[in-house]
Amino acid sequence: MDTDARPRRRGPYAKSAERRRSIVDAAFEVFAARGYQGGSLQDVADRVGMSQTSLLHYFPSKADLLVAVLNRRDVVADTGPLEDETRDFPTILIDQARFNEGVPGLIELYTVLCGESVTEHYPARDYFEHRFARLRDEYSAELRKLEAAGRLREGVDIERAASSIVALWDGIQTQWLLDDSVDMAACLADYLGLIIRPSAP
């Protein structure tokens, strides 16, 4: 018999990795709906059909699971380094806003956990502090490039504009969660149009 035709058994590592992914996906849904404070490990365990004791074998603490969920969120969608040379900075941001609308639970998870991050002893506070600092740095760098190219409008303070883009994006997302008739991408585009000149045709 051709042994290559036999179905290959999946090793314990593959099964363990799959189980970890299913736990993180379940926690993603629980934390998006109930927040980190309101969602329990038992809620997550129930979604994957396992005991809380078994879940703790994969994630020793709720804080460890939260970090994994945030890392998962970054894989699903994140602005990341702005290195796409086929699109300019405003287009990248607007496209990202449109993309986020189409990922179920993504905006809910981010908004809920970000709001909780200002509470005392929140385990992911550093994550959000570093994320905001990184975004401000990246956006400032992109705005400086636009300034050098003559596309930044007069009187724009680059650091304040970078912070304003972050604040506008987060605020518009919260409004969209409460009323999905709010056009996040259009609101973001309107502000960017106030500080950035259109590219030459």
For the stretch 176-197, pLDDT in tens is: 999 999 999 999 999 999 999 9
| Nearby residues of 53 by Cβ (< 8 Å), 6 or more positions away | none
Place of tokens 């189980």: 19
Domain with CATH 1.10.10.60 in the chain: 9-73
* Interatomic CA distance for residues 3 and 117, integer angstroms: 54
Which residue ranges does the chain devote to CATH 1.10.357? 78-195
Local structure of 152: helix, strand or coil: strand
The dihedral of CA 109, 77, 83, 125: what is its sign?
Answer: positive
- pLDDT bucket at 78, cuts 50 / 70 / 90: low
Nearest to 188 by CA among 100, 124, 114, 128: 100
Mind listing the pLDDT tens digit for each residue in 90-141?
999 998 888 888 886 889 999 999 999 999 889 999 999 999 999 999 999 9
To the question of domain 78-195 being in CATH 1.10.357, the answer is: yes
What is the pTM (predicted TM-score) of this model? 0.81
Class of domain 9-73: mainly alpha
